[in-house]
């Protein structure tokens, strides 16, 4: 089974554009009483959470796009073997083959 890299690239670029369009502006600085300060603080915390989530996704997308551009997409970062196409279809941002991934997860669990 061959991967349709061109379709994947397009899909990722679309998602990237959507993420960027949803980027949240910083809340206005508060100049009121304590309730305003609390509300602003909460909004800021929320914005930061969304932002870091978006940033993480953007970083993933950028990484995959860079790998595609370099012709290295679908190669395991750890052992250099090709990653199974089924795995890439299920998880396009995968950069490790299934063996390396499971070894890593075992290591993480201790
Ligand atoms: Zn590997």
* Cα-to-centroid distance, 16 and ligand 1 (Å): 27
Domain extent for 79: 74-110
Query: What local confidence, expressed as pLDDT, does residue 108 receive?
Result: 85
Same domain, residue pair 63 and 101: no
Domain count, the chain: 2
User: Would you give per-residue pLDDT tens digits along the chain (110 residues)?
Assistant: 567 899 999 999 999 999 888 776 666 666 667 778 888 888 887 777 778 888 889 999 999 999 999 999 999 999 999 999 999 989 998 999 999 999 999 998 87
* CA-wise closest residue to 16 among 49, 50, 64, 48: 64
Q: Phi and psi dihedrals of 75, rounded to 5?
A: -105, 130
* Cα-to-centroid distance, 18 and ligand 1 (Å): 32
Using the Cα atoms of residue 16, residue 17, residue 21 and residue 27 in order, give the sign of their dihedral: positive
Same domain, residue pair 104 and 80: yes
Same domain, residue pair 51 and 61: yes
Same domain, residue pair 42 and 95: no
Query: What does the alpha-carbon distance between residue 49 and residue 107 come to, in Å, rounded to a whole number?
Result: 28
* Cα-to-centroid distance, 101 and ligand 1 (Å): 7
* Cα-to-centroid distance, 96 and ligand 1 (Å): 5
Query: What local confidence, expressed as pLDDT, does residue 88 receive?
Result: 92
Query: What does the alpha-carbon distance between residue 54 and residue 59 come to, in Å, rounded to a whole number?
Result: 8
Same domain, residue pair 21 and 58: yes
Same domain, residue pair 81 and 64: no
Same domain, residue pair 13 and 41: yes
Query: What local confidence, expressed as pLDDT, does residue 39 receive?
Result: 83
């Amino acid at each position: 089974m061959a991967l349709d890299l061109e379709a994947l690239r397009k899909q990722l670029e679309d998602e990237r554009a959507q993420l960027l369009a949803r980027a949240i502006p910083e809340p206005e600085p508060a100049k009121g009483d304590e309730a305003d300060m609390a509300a602003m603080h909460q909004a800021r915390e929320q914005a930061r959470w969304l932002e870091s989530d978006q940033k993480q996704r953007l970083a993933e997308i950028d990484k995959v796009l860079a790998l595609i551009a370099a012709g290295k997409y679908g190669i395991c970062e750890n052992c250099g073997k090709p990653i199974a196409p089924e795995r890439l279809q299920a998880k396009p941002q995968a950069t490790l083959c299934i063996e390396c991934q499971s070894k890593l997860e075992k290591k993480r669990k201790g």
